Chains A and B, each alone.
Chain A
């Protein structure tokens, strides 16, 4: 980077406000990126990072947001990703978008084929691809199928693809979240070398050590607003603590029902629980997790995106996620078999998924059938259903949880998020479990319904159940849980009782690096 080039503003986003029905995702966000710098954006889950990048790249077209975007001095009114790519703004999403059965070269030039009158020039394609691969430091032949590459190498192909489009601003969304340490290191080196080639980068990351290592400036978002932009190489070096303070600096303003826990004996324990990635079997996703839940206790699991929260829960619940799972689960002190969902339910476990539409409910069926789905044995005799009992059960839970619906014959897909979540809770309460794992129990639910859900969670604990709550909203965990575990990259890095818990403390554990944690 020549010093003369640096300092000029490449991108300016001013007063960006983006409203979704009912929610203000961004309000008056300002972002200024200088030419040739690596600019990090960080913030909690839901702070608005991805929305901001979608506004920039034209996924949310001009006119659907307020504010102004200036790129290289001129105002931009992108209507689609094509428009922003034409200006050299390329975004690489966390979920890579490569076609697995096509070759590297085919992927690089997909939609941008090296062709004359519709006939592809394969020699030119492969030659150019080889040149791009050399630039990103990927030693693979251009005709290699992308399917055979690991995630790290696929990421490099994505970057090569971006370079092929004459990129001037490269946006990387959580680029290292799915990578192992070696691949992450390689990627960071590549970003440095791209900087030397005058390519400006925006990097969205949860890994604060990486940000500290690579970023020239860091913009922190919180609740859809810009908190501050830190110059990383100023007179005073910016610490991870400093970034964390910016990310969480908000008071507990949500309201939670009062609850005095009465905590009894241990109901659930997980020992040395280790899970590997189902596709990349060498990647450890949950690493020797040990946790304990007592009767009447609400235990939180905090972790940033990709930390392995859902993976941990689903692997325990009948090995629904992951391969090469090892470790032992104990219910009331006895080791239990949780190798299938059926066995996990029999052992006294319940798991309510974070994505109730995809993994929770049969949306085309009614409330009563969804309520009894996990415990049909309780409403049947030798395989024959007692429909009158089924009605009664569904009706009982409808009343107890206050599900708003005229009858339990209503189709679940038409209920609101809060009422759907109550149906999910009904289902798992009816199985009468010892331990309930609630994954993002209030996601997509309005504030009033959240309060109700919290009340029911408290009631479950008071009934002597052990409750595990997974949430990406720290205030929710702080308001609800008696004890909180922090998960960082598959490792339980900390265990904090309610009295000592704060967002700063949790965030410190949540961003703790693997090596430190393993010590």
Chain B
């Protein structure tokens, strides 16, 4: 349609780095760089954990603190999973905090006022979450209202609805429901001293599954002559992550509740959504839309349908977060979930999700959520003023995203 640029722009036919990239040395550098990007955030988490372990005089990693760290931050992880998908596709969701409060209200009313069994109430809550997601997805995907506006409206609408249906608080939830976020699997296989055997078994299985998965991936890459990490780095990675899981398991096995139920829920969600994003057509379409929406359209991606489903899914995850939050509080509270959307967005960005969309991983967002959680926990144990906690979290978010941008610029310039 337009006259070709006489030169410059598209006429440049250089291949930066490609010639040199074929030498083994350069390939190694590329692999290292990829690793650094991928594990940098994990390293930051470990450093923060160690820092607070020292600052709190060893209190941070006490078994019961670790268990409650998970229980208190499960909602961020759950919401961050959905938020990564929303942001990768180039949207944002400001409404999830209000949705958590609204669905918390629905759950409480179902159990307390209508006397529904708690499992049925949970199913009802999840269904309402899907409906709420479909409502927002409709406006974003089919009407074309920017998600920022739709979910800003949603933030107001669902907060208002939460206050209307709940009033202030609906307490007296059944103990089975309350246990979701406050209890754990304990003593299923007996005890070894003070350690819960079941938790240890799960930990061992997790390590085995992780190592097997990594080996399989490495073999597949090898089979296709693709870049693999140097053997040393690969082994170091297996050992470090294996040890981390082992340590974590050992700590949890010594806690008063054993394996928290919410950890099971979160773990299942992480695995399921990592699979969804990496291994399914739906996940691929999300990345395609975020990477270049025009190209996605011209490749036959039904962009509207994908966007719609992203928001339906976000509604579902917000409902799960509502179950966890309401269970943790033991009551439906109209003012629950304030700023949850910001926590989830921050977790996604700290975890390396690109502000411009197209890039982001579930695992990154989880690590981002844990960084936020550890900060919360550590600062609380140190009894730092909540106002300061908030300010510090803000600075960490800023630093994480700025670091990521600078890192990318360096890679691009290299």
Contacts and interface: CB of A to CB of B under 8 A. Distances in A.
B11 A444 contact: yes
Interface of A: 19-23, 25-26, 45-46, 48-51, 224, 305-306, 309-311, 317-318, 320, 340-342, 344-345, 351, 353-354, 357-365, 369, 373-374, 376-377, 380, 383-385, 387-388, 391-392, 395, 404-410, 414-419, 427, 440, 443-446, 449, 472
Given A318-B300, A415-B15, A380 B7 contact: no
Contacts of A317: 298
Interface stretch (B255-263, B274-282, B321-329, B365-373): B274-282
B6, B15, B16, most chain A CB atoms within 10 A: B6
Interface in B41-76: none
Interface string B12-35: 111111100110000100000000
A163 to B, nearest CB: 27
A21 B224 CA distance: 37
A444 B4 contact: yes
A345 B300 CA distance: 7
B226 A407 contact: yes
Nearest to A380: B281
Majority secondary structure of chain B interface residues (helix, strand, loop or mixed): loop
Nearest to B220: A388
Nearest to B21: A406
Contact of B297 (A22, A46, A320): A320
Nearest to A409: B226
A49 to B, nearest CB: 8
Interface residues of B, number: 48
Interface string B298-323: 11111000000000000000000000
A376 B301 CA distance: 10
Contacts of B17: 414
A305 B15 contact: no
A21 B8 CA distance: 6
30 contacts: A22-B7, A22-B11, A46-B4, A224-B6, A305-B3, A311-B1, A317-B298, A318-B298, A340-B302, A345-B300, A359-B298, A362-B295, A364-B292, A380-B281, A383-B280, A384-B280, A385-B281, A388-B224, A392-B224, A405-B18, A406-B22, A408-B226, A414-B17, A414-B18, A417-B13, A444-B5, A444-B9, A445-B13, A446-B13, A472-B3
B288 A365 contact: yes
A340 B304 CA distance: 12
Contacts of B1: 305-306, 309-311, 354
Given A354-B1, A380-B280, A359 B6 contact: no
Contact of B298 (A341, A364, A377, A415): A341
A424 to B, nearest CB: 9
Contacts of A414: 15-18
A407 B30 CA distance: 12
Contact of B299 (A48, A387, A427): A427
B209 interface: no
B287 A416 contact: no
Interface in B336-351: none
A395 B225 CA distance: 10
B358 interface: yes
B12 A358 contact: no
A390 to B, nearest CB: 10
Contacts of B6: 20, 23, 25-26, 46, 48, 50-51, 224
A364 B295 contact: no
Contact of A369 (B18, B227, B287): B287
B302 to A, nearest CB: 6
Nearest to A345: B300
Contacts of A224: 6
B13 A364 contact: no
Contact of A376 (B15, B225, B284, B297): B284
A417 B296 contact: no
A407 B227 contact: yes
B27 A20 contact: no
Contacts of B299: 341, 373-374, 427
Contacts of B5: 444
B294 interface: yes
Contacts of A342: 300, 302
B10 A416 contact: no
B383 interface: no
A362 B298 contact: no
Nearest to B34: A409
B242 interface: no
A291 B2 CA distance: 24
B8 A406 contact: no
Contact of B4 (A380, A384, A404, A443): A443
A364 B300 contact: no
Contacts of A416: 13-15, 18
A385 B279 contact: yes
Contact of B7 (A25, A377, A391): A25
Nearest to A392: B224
A395 B10 contact: no
A472 B300 contact: no
B174 interface: no
B160 interface: no
Nearest to A44: B3
B291 interface: yes
A419 B9 contact: no
Contact of A359 (B223, B284, B295): B295
A333 to B, nearest CB: 24
A406 B4 contact: no
Contact of A20 (B11, B22, B301): B11
B166 interface: no
A360 B280 contact: no
Contacts of B18: 404-406, 410, 414-416
Contacts of A415: 15, 18
Given A21-B8, A362-B295, A362-B296, 16 more contacts: A22-B11, A25-B6, A45-B3, A305-B1, A305-B2, A340-B300, A344-B300, A345-B300, A359-B294, A365-B287, A369-B287, A385-B280, A388-B220, A419-B15, A427-B299, A444-B13
A319 B128 CA distance: 36
B220, B299, B359, most chain A CB atoms within 10 A: B299
A510 to B, nearest CB: 14
A341 B297 CA distance: 7
Nearest to B357: A364
A392 B226 CA distance: 11
Nearest to A419: B15
Given A306-B1, A353-B298, A363 B12 contact: no
A318 B294 CA distance: 13
Contacts of B220: 387-388, 391
A401 to B, nearest CB: 15
A450 to B, nearest CB: 11
A417 B10 contact: yes
Contacts of A50: 3, 6
Nearest to A52: B6
Contacts of A404: 15, 18
Contact of A472 (B4, B8, B298): B4
A369 B10 contact: no
Given A46-B3, A406-B18, A443-B4, A391 B224 contact: yes
Contacts of B296: 362, 373
B291 A362 contact: yes
B227 A409 contact: yes
A409 B220 CA distance: 13
A373 B14 CA distance: 25
Given A50-B3, A417-B13, A418-B13, A362 B287 contact: yes
